Amino acid sequence: MKKLFLLPTIILLVASCKNEKLTETNTIMEKQAKLEIEKVLMNYKETLNTSSAEKATALYTKDGIFMPSSGPTAIGKEQIKASYDFVFSQIQLNIEFYIEEITIENNFAFAVTSSKGETLIHATKTTIPEENRELFIFEKENETWKIARYMFNKTK
């Protein structure tokens, strides 16, 4: 009789150890993914501050979508590059990004951020305050996190 109770107890103990290891592995993988996404966001900030349309475009998936607040939606790398070329011909950004949330689900993730700084308008040579809130959707493409969708709007 004791043997009948002992076997299920051992099975439950082994199973719970495996579940703990799996949970621990998932937590480590999620932390790593968040660090990778944070790096993409900081690289993106640098592309904005250096007006690099090529580098900004390289951070997107091949079928990425860029939805600027006052411009048409750009779909795919060619349109995204053209959109950034136009934006950077009009303004020079000097901003800082603040990451508020990153959530990961399999090969997709989203990040909610805000940014604050200033914008130099080339046409008038004037500098104005810049403040936005942003929503990024990331997709893992060839084992690398890339921007799949990006939308922002002004907060003030």
Considering Cα of 60, then 154, then 41, then 141, what sign does the dihedral take?
negative
- Contact residues for 113 (Cβ-Cβ < 8 A; gap 6+): 41, 97, 98, 99, 100, 133, 134, 136
Q: Give pLDDT, residue 93.
A: 97
Q: Which H or E run contains 33?
A: helix 2-49
Whole-number mean pLDDT of the chain?
A: 89
For residue 41, which of 94, 104, 93, 112 has the smallest C-alpha distance?
112
The pTM score is 0.82
Statement: residue 17 has pLDDT above 60: no
DSSP 142: T
Mean pLDDT of 13-39: 74
Position with higher pLDDT, 155 vs 45: 45
Determine what percent of the chain is predicted with pLDDT higher than 70: 83
